[in-house]
Structure formats: C-alpha cells, structure tokens
Structure 1
Amino acid sequence: MPPHKLKVAIIGPGNIGTDLMIKVMRNSQHLEMGAMVGVDPKSDGLARAERLGIATTAEGIEGLLRLDVFEDIDIVFDATSASAHKHHNALLQAHGVQVIDLTPAAIGPYVIPAINLEAENASNMNMVTCGGQATIPMVAAVSRVAKVHYAEIVASISSKSAGPGTRANIDEFTETTKAAIEKLGGAERGKAIIVLNPAEPPLIMRDSVFVLSELADQALVEASIEKMVAAVKAYVPGYRLKQRVQFDVIAPEHPLNVPRLGPRHGLKTSVYLEVEGAAHYLPSYAGNLDIMTSAALACGDMMAQRRIASGIARGLKETT
C-alpha cells in the first residue's frame, strides 16, 4: 500500500514558519503542506507559499477555518506567539486537530525528540524553545549518570535570525526554557539566558551548558553526552560539540551557592555547542531556526504516524 501523508497548516509565515514549510515539502515522511496562515497580506512567507501552490490566508486562524482545505488538515504548527497560541489552540482542539506549538506558551507537554518524543502523545505538543532544543539534551545526558543540582544554559544567536516572534517572546523564552531544564533535563534548578548577537558577518548559533551534579565518573558523563549529541544530530545534521566536554570538581569545602538550594558541591560539567542551519530559508548561521523546525518536523511526523495508525486522521490521503 502506498504511504500515507497528512495535510498540515502552519500559522505564522515568518522566519520559523517559512523554514518549516520548506522542510515539510523537502524532508517529511508523513506530512504535506495544506495551508499557510498569517495576518499580513504582504508577508514574504505567504507569498512564497502561494507561489508554491499552497492555500494561503492573511486572516489568521479564523481565515484558516474558512479555507476549503481545512476539513483535510490534521496537524497545525503554530509559529506565532505565546499570547496568540491559547486562542489558536482552543479553536483547533474543538475541531480535533493535532497542534504542535513552536511558541513558548507551553499549554501541552514539553517535547524534545532526543529525550521524550516517543513517551508523549498529547493533542498539543510544545517544542520548548530553540535554546531549549539545543541545550536541554545535554542536561538530560548528565542527569542520566548523576543527580543534577543546577543547570544553566546560554543560547547565543545571530540578531538577523531572530524575527519579530522571537523578539516578542524573550521573557517567555527564559521562563519556558528554565522550566523545561528542570522538567526534561532533570535539574533541581535551572536558568536560561538568550543573547541576540548583532555581529557582522552574522555568527552561527552557539550554546553553552553548565551543569553542577553529584560526583560521577567523568568518562561515563562524557559518553552519555556524546551519545545524546548523536541522537540530536540524527534530525539536526548541523548539531555538534564545539570542543571536548570540560570538567571541574567542586570540593565540599568550596561549594557553589545555588539560588534557593544553598551550597552544593560535586562535578561541574561544561558543554559548548554550535548549531549550523541547513539554509533552507535563512543562511546557515540561523541554527536556532533549524533546530526548532527540525524538532517540530520530527514531532509532526511521529504524530502523523500515530493518527494514521489509530484511524483518527481527518483527511487521510494516499500518495505515491
């Protein structure tokens, strides 16, 4: 029997939404584009979608509901803002549509494919943030070897790769990423920082991860991190360690003071990453786009498989 593909819509034709559209068309195993949704008739993303023969609307979520193709849409990716997502999700859930949230709204469970994609099956799946997708797998890798007291991540991205949606969600970025560091990374306490780097020429996405855990075998920690890097790289080819993992032993007599936890000693693990984008929409320096949309695509393909297998797909279509 020919493989099945389900139609998807993307709300938000900005940098992330446009890059995701191209990935769906080029790389998806179980998805095909059904509609691109925005609010600005002059949007470049809407114009690109229209040129590619995809149904478009500049009337937002209400416009999507009025499109003829909507009855065949099974999955909607929301790449707008945390504030708008609550409204979008309520309308889509009423129609039995699977929602994949690329905003920091965090209505559904946090999902990072390398950590917990197969374990989650909710009608709304939250993709955390670009910085979270890049760094939390490293925290989880340490957590699999030793109890993590504290984890701090710093995500540095090119200012040119940060669109209006990213800029409008900075506060939500830090709060959502922090919460996911604790929920998915296994840290007692987490902290997230994002840096928009205005350098010219634009710099590739760089991420620093600092983890304070109980003492553990450094070789085991390093092996766990390398295994996790390979898992992320399977769906984000440009993901890599910038240099070898670094360790420092924090002695009991010279502990670090962790806010709200107090003095802690053990093993400090420092991980330095870079993420090179696939250059589907923006140049390769925009690794923050690439890791977010690649993770969302992996999630969408998995959810499509589940909807097909369960027989609940709204617009099941055979393709060759």
Structure 2
Amino acid sequence: MSARLKVAIIGPGNIGTDLMIKVMRNSQHLEMGAMVGVDPASEGLQRAARLGVATTAQGLDGLLALDIFPDIDIVFDATSAGAHARHNEVLQQHGVQVIDLTPAAIGPYVIPAINLEAENASNMNMVTCGGQATIPIVAAVSRVAKVYYGEIVASISSKSAGPGTRANIDEFTETTRAAIEKLGGAQRGKAIIVLNPAEPPLIMRDTVFVLSEPADQAAVERSIEQMVASVQAYVPGYRLKQRVQFDVVPPEAPLNIPGLGLRHGLKTSVFLEVEGAAHYLPAYAGNLDIMTSAALACADMMARRRIAAGIARGLKEAA
C-alpha cells in the first residue's frame, strides 16, 4: 500500500482551501486527489488547478466521474449540513471514509484531544469551531469532578464567518450543545456564537463556564493545562488568555440550572484565544484554522491505521 492516501475536498471555500494547503504542506500520510465545487469561477477551484490538483465544478457527481475517484480513500465535506446528508450516503456506498466539517452530525463527534484514537467510524463529525475550541476544557474538568453544566461562548470575526457558517447558526448551537454533553461530560450544555464586526478583525476568543461538584482547584487547573497542551499539539495558536478562574458556589446560595434544578459546587471560568496558522486564511480566523487542523489530525490518524493495516496484510501474505 502507498505511504500516502489520496483525499478529496468537497467545498472549495475558505475552509476547503485552507485544508488543501494543510494537506499539501503538513500531512505525513495524505496527498491531494481532487477539489470539488459547483462554481467554475471559484477561487478555491482555480487555486487547486494551479497547484496541479484535479478539479470539478459539477459537485459530488463530478467527483464520481473523475478518473482519480477510484483512488480516493478519504473525502472531507466542507459544504453545509443540508448537503452533507446526500454526500455521505453516496460516498458510503463507495466505501469512502468521510470527514464531516459541517454541523450535520451524522457520524459520531470527534475532537482529537478527547477521542481521536478511540474512534473508527466511517463518518466522523468535527462538531463546530466553537466546539473544537471549548469542549476539551469541559472534558478536562470532567476528568476531575462531575460536571453539572457547561456553557461556551465563541466569539469570531464576522469576516471569518462565510456563507456556510451563517446558514448553519442553528445547527452550530445545537451540535455544539449536544457535544458538550456527549464529549465534554456535562449533564447540561449551552452554546452561543457571536459574530464580531470589529475592524480590524479580532482573533477568535472563547469563554467556557463550568459548574461542577466541589473539587480541588489545583487539580482542575492542572487538568485544563494538560488539555490545552494536547490541543496545541495540532493547533499551535490555541492558548489560555489568562489563568483559570474559580468561584465557590455554596450550598446556601445554589445556582438554578434549567432542567437540573439547584446545584452548588465549583464554578470554573476559562478564557481562550485561537490564532490561526495563516497557511491560507488570515491569522485572526482561528475559528476556521482549528476546524481544518482537527480534520487533518483525524484524517492523518485514519490514514496511518489503513497504511499500517496494509503493511501488516502484505507481511502476512509474504509469509
């Protein structure tokens, strides 16, 4: 088996183009096979063609018709939640691994710092940019204490929110909320996204509020710092903006958590920022960079597994 697997990207917008650059520059196990769009004048399609990548402006049907399609092992879908359902259905019929960068959430949620090594589904959902940035923090608290409630606020530059993001705001909040509970371990979750129109554009900022049972503050802080280091392994611009903040909520003055009732314990507040690597997008677009970086980490892991399995089969047949 080849030391690299060929991938295709559906959606030549900002996310798809940045992902293409990351595959070509940073991946150890992947190589670009095709870029897929619907607009022949798309800047992303034109850039891909200049870089020698096969392109089609006929959408998924065009990808299926390309000579290179039989060699495609992994497809990244960077379109929309609505379009992803058909894309996934067709690609699964062809046995293609799908990495979903939309909020469709057909497959299991995957955040590399939390569950990448344990996941092996044929469709993997990258949650949302806000989820990739904040849910690791909720999970870090969950490693130390039971989490009653996790709330995240993702603030991104309006300029880094393309038409896909804007069309999927409802899906963003619902998918992120569900992943706060599923991967973060919170009993209840809430997600808010803010599109900031400030000029010059501001870097992505994220705030995480967690209410947990009483816990050792030093242990919680250590767990969060370890989780931040794990995310930085594939998103170098991910960092704490300031030290973790703690407030003790006493039993005599509990907080009312919708759906759970009155709870007391430890409130943990974490303030993050995400600076993009500026491979294609500007550095302030950390919200897009963390999605493409997470997707690349996911696909590289899948490729590594498949290559290793192919080598193992080859050795077995040779014996």
Same fold (TM over 0.5): yes
- For 2:251, the equivalent position in structure 1 comes to 252
The aligned length equals 311
Per-residue deviation, residues 220-246 of structure 1 (Å, max 9, x unmatched):
000000000000000000000000000
Q: Which amino acid is the alignment partner of residue 211 of structure 2? A: L
- Three-state SS of the structure 1 residue aligned to 2:116 is helix
Q: Which amino acid is the alignment partner of residue 38 of structure 1? A: G
Q: Distance in 1 between matches of 2:130 and 2:180?
A: 11
- Three-state SS of the structure 2 residue aligned to 1:191 is strand
Identity, % of aligned pairs? 86
Spell out the pairing of 1:94-109 with structure 2 (5 A cutoff): 94-109=93-108
- For 2:31, the equivalent position in structure 1 comes to 32
Q: Distance in 1 between matches of 2:155 and 2:81?
A: 21
- For 2:317, the equivalent position in structure 1 comes to none
Per-residue deviation, residues 204-229 of structure 1 (Å, max 9, x unmatched):
00000000000000000000000000
- Three-state SS of the structure 1 residue aligned to 2:5 is strand
Establish whether residue 23 from structure 1 lines up as the match of residue 15 from structure 2: no
- For 1:242, the equivalent position in structure 2 comes to 241
Spell out the pairing of 1:182-201 with structure 2 (5 A cutoff): 182-201=181-200
* Mapped contact 2:153–2:207 kept (Cα < 8 A): yes
Spell out the pairing of 1:87-236 with structure 2 (5 A cutoff): 87-236=86-235
Q: Distance in 2 between matches of 1:66 and 1:259?
A: 51
Q: Which amino acid is the alignment partner of residue 102 of structure 1? A: L
Shift of 1:42: 1.0
Q: Distance in 2 between matches of 1:163 and 1:303?
A: 28
Q: Distance in 1 between matches of 2:288 and 2:46?
A: 20
Q: Distance in 2 between matches of 1:3 and 1:136?
A: 35
Question: Compared with structure 1, are the counterparts of its residues 18 and 264 closer, same or farther at alpha carbon in structure 2 (3 Å cutoff)?
Answer: same
Q: Distance in 2 between matches of 1:305 and 1:122?
A: 15
- For 2:314, the equivalent position in structure 1 comes to none
Per-residue deviation, residues 70-104 of structure 1 (Å, max 9, x unmatched):
01000000000001001000110001100000001
Q: Which amino acid is the alignment partner of residue 144 of structure 2? A: V
Q: Where do 5+ consecutive residues of structure 1 fail to align?
A: 313-320
Query: Using CA pairs below 8 Å that are at least 6 residues apart, which structure has the higher relative contact order?
Result: 1
- For 2:293, the equivalent position in structure 1 comes to 294
- Three-state SS of the structure 1 residue aligned to 2:201 is coil
Q: Distance in 1 between matches of 2:118 and 2:259?
A: 31
Cα RMSD for the two superposed structures: 1.1
- Three-state SS of the structure 2 residue aligned to 1:301 is helix
